[in-house]
Structure 1
Amino acid sequence: MTDQYPPDPDSAATIQVEVAYATPDRQLIIPMQVPIGTTALDAVRQSGITREFPAIDLENDPMGIFSNPLNGKDWPLPGEYRLQEM
């Protein structure tokens, strides 16, 4: 990983993420490849998930990773990049 923080957005380094949303009736998981340094909010925007769930309010709805609350708008810290078995 580079010492530059936040990472250069033109960097070729990427990570695999999944943007997920569910209602009692429906679940959608969108796998994506995003540049390292992408915020959770940016990934959600890029996923297009709001086309499927227009009720999502990106500015006010809470975000999380596996039910752990997440700001989503801040740059992720280098230690927040970790692999999780799926």
Structure 2
Amino acid sequence: MGRDEQVPPELTIEVAFALPERQKIVTLAVPPGTTARQAVRQARLDEHFPELPAASFEDAELGIFGKRLPAPERHVLRTGDRVEVYRPLRIDPKQARIERAARRSRD
């Protein structure tokens, strides 16, 4: 690389995932143009959560600071972003409300 060429700056971002009993936040330095999906791959969450299938992270819904990303494979990150990897719901929220209401009416 010549003297006048500059190395592109890296962005500092975080990738976060949590189970009910523990969480992991991985800080990464990534090149400009990195997408949310690429950052999740680079975080290697499957190594921190070996009890989960790797597809749990590859196919997961993603968000930035609590806002779901409709197209994480196209969302380009900015420095300081925290990519959140969402777990799939175990039960539909509407069904959970129905079941809670049914239990309360029996009590």
What's the TM-score, normalizing by structure 1? 0.69
- Higher RCO structure, 1 or 2 (CA under 8 Å, sep 6+): 2
Please name the residue that 2:43 is paired with: 47
Instruction: Give the structure with the larger helix fraction.
Output: 2
Gaps of 5+ in 2: 1-6, 82-107
User: CA 1:83/1:16 → structure 2, altered by over 3 Å: closer, same or farther?
Assistant: closer
1:24 aligns with 2:20: yes
Q: Which moved more, 1:19-28 or 1:46-55?
A: 46-55
Please name the residue that 1:4 is paired with: none
Cα RMSD between the aligned structures? 2.0
Gaps of 5+ in 1: 1-10
Identity of aligned residues (%): 33
Structure 1 distance, partners of 2:80, 2:66, is 17
CA deviation vs aligned residue, 1:67-86 (integer Å, no higher than 9, x gap)? 1011210052xxx63657xx
User: CA 1:62/1:42 → structure 2, altered by over 3 Å: closer, same or farther?
Assistant: same
Letter in 1 for 2:74: D
CA deviation vs aligned residue, 1:10-58 (integer Å, no higher than 9, x gap)? x622100001000111100000100010011111101111222234241
Structure 1 distance, partners of 2:79, 2:39, is 16
Q: Which of the pair has more CA radius of gyration?
A: 2
Structure 2 distance, partners of 1:46, 1:83, is 16
What's the TM-score, normalizing by structure 2? 0.56
Moved over 3 A (4+): none
Structure 1 distance, partners of 2:62, 2:48, is 17
